[in-house]
């Protein structure tokens, strides 16, 4: 999460940035709002404009800056303060000292835009704030000025805040990058909106422009909670911007199943991504648990991300096959992130995953059920690009990862082209159940294993109360079955 600062050092472009202190927002803005400029934050009622702007204001006030909040709406300051008091960023001790509230509507009602501009000029001259928030720009529009008068007002306001070196935010209840004076004559335009996905509603943010800032284009999800606004930059946009390449390694990482490690020449390459794909109940999760057990033996911090089985159920499943993870959970060597695949933001999940990895220096990860990402995706067309960015983020952190994926029961065969995400993974292992003479048998085979030799044959995989072991080749299993029938 970003730490709030006021007016960072100049960048190469010479622009000074006012960092907001709002998690994720400064990333979207390319570092922050260019200071001492005029910005428009727009969005329909309930989109979060006032909360966002006031959160920026209180963060700046906590660092010693003076902030003016000017309202042009009928809502009383007492009611506004009552609303803001619900958020963790609100500090009542700053009100009247670092954060000052003024009502500008009387000036607008009595003398129009000219009188409002005079009122704002007086406030800036008397209090010399670093930040000014003007809430209720609708009232300016409803005063019915001509386009020329409104343009003159916007030009004058822009010049005024620049001369007074005050970063200013106008809040407007509109949507869309329309060719109106208030949009074209501001230095930056941020839109807050709500996207409806069936019965689900997701808040989204878009920066149309921010002169002097290298902002991320497109939409980014955000939430408003007790802590305030949290923005989750679109993962693929951030990855494209950073464009960090991963490194290769000759080190091998074992699965923790001796007979399978022997067949794969010691396991997989360190820092690689392995896709375990198989039919339901075939043993994908148990194989992932062996991988975690091996990481703990090697004294490596590890992590499990799951969607469908809660941590208590997963620990119980592990014990049933002789894998006890309780001590590792207690002492912090292993943690589990579990999310019901319901109304969860995909980019928030990625932020929390990488935060855990970076904080704990995680080197091994199991993502149990890639289908969970598809279930929570608001925009399904993003899945492939999101996964590309996700696995690249894991590679550059050198996290050796297993990702399980379900293959439907009815699938008779598997080929590399069956999964549109197959190019994401260095290694692919196929697990499937087949029926032989009325008995279900589990088979395991390597589809691909980069940077290492492997046996491509199918082998029987046996699961017992002591875990997984690899049996004979499937061809031998079929041959022995046929021979037993012949004997009979």
pLDDT at 476: 79
Domains detected in the chain: 17-233 (3.40.50.300), 252-487 (3.40.50.300)
The number of beta carbons lying within 10 Å of the beta carbon of residue 82 is 10
> Who wins on pLDDT, 145 or 402?
402
Assess whether pLDDT exceeds 70 at residue 189: yes
Give residue 2's pLDDT: 41
Name, in order, each residue with C-beta under 8 angstroms of 317's C-beta and a sequence gap of 6 or more.
285, 286, 289, 309
The mean pLDDT of 107-115, rounded to a whole number, is 93
Read off the pTM: 0.88
Give the tens place of pLDDT for each residue, 120-138.
999 999 999 999 999 998 8
Instruction: Indicate if the pLDDT at residue 451 is higher than 80.
Output: no
Q: Share the mean pLDDT of the chain.
A: 89
pLDDT tens readout for residues 413-449? 554 444 456 778 999 999 998 887 777 889 999 999 9
**The pairing of beta strand 67-71 with beta strand 131-135:** parallel
pLDDT at 147: 84
1-33 pLDDT per residue, tens:
444 333 433 333 456 899 999 999 999 999 999
């Amino acid at each position: 999460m970003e730490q709030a600062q006021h007016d960072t050092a100049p960048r190469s472009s010479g622009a000074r940035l006012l960092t907001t202190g709002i998690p994720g927002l400064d990333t979207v803005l390319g570092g922050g709002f260019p200071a001492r400029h005029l910005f428009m934050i727009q969005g329909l009622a309930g989109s979060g404009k006032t909360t966002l702007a006031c959160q920026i204001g209180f963060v700046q006030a906590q660092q010693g800056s003076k902030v003016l909040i000017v309202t042009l709406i009928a809502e009383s300051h007492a009611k506004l303060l009552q609303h803001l008091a619900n958020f963790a960023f609100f500090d009542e001790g700053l009100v009247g000292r670092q954060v000052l509230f003024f009502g500008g509507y009387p000036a607008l009602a009595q003398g129009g835009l000219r009188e409002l501009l005079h009122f704002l000029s007086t406030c800036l001259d008397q209090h010399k704030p670093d930040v000014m928030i003007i809430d209720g720009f609708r009232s300016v529009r409803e005063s019915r000025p001509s386009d020329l008068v409104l343009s003159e007002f916007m030009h004058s306001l822009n010049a005024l805040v620049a001369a007074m070196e005050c970063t200013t935010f106008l809040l407007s209840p509109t949507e869309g990058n329309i060719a109106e004076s208030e949009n074209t004559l501001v230095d930056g335009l941020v839109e807050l909106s709500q996207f409806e996905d069936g019965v689900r509603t997701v808040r989204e943010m878009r920066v149309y422009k921010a002169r002097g800032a290298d902002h991320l284009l497109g939409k980014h999800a955000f939430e408003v909670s007790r802590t305030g606004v949290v923005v989750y930059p679109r993962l693929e946009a951030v990855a494209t911007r950073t464009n960090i390449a991963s490194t290769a390694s000759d080190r091998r990482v074992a699965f923790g199943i001796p007979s399978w490690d022997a067949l794969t020449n010691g396991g997989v390459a360190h820092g690689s991504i392995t896709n375990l794909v198989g039919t339901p109940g075939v043993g994908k999760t148990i194989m992932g648990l062996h991988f975690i057990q091996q990481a703990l033996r090697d004294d490596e911090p590890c992590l499990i991300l799951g969607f469908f089985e809660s941590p208590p159920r997963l620990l119980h499943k592990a014990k049933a096959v002789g894998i006890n993870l309780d001590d590792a959970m207690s002492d912090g060597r292993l943690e589990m992130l579990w999310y019901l695949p319901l109304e969860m933001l995909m980019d928030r999940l990625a932020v929390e995953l990488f935060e855990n990895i970076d904080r704990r220096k995680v080197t091994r990860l199991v993502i149990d059920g890639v289908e969970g990402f598809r279930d929570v995706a608001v925009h399904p067309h993003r899945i492939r690009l999101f996964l590309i960015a996700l696995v690249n983020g894991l590679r550059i952190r050198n996290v050796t990862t297993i990702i399980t994926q379900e293959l439907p029961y009815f699938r008779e065969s598997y080929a590399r082209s069956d999964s549109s995400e197959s190019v994401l993974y260095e290694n692919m292992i196929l697990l499937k159940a087949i029926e032989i003479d009325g008995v279900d048998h589990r088979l395991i085979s390597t589809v691909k294993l980069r940077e290492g030799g492997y046996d491509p044959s199918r082998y029987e995989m046996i699961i017992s109360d002591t875990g997984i072991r690899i049996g004979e080749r499937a061809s031998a299993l079929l041959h022995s079955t046929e021979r037993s029938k012949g004997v009979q």
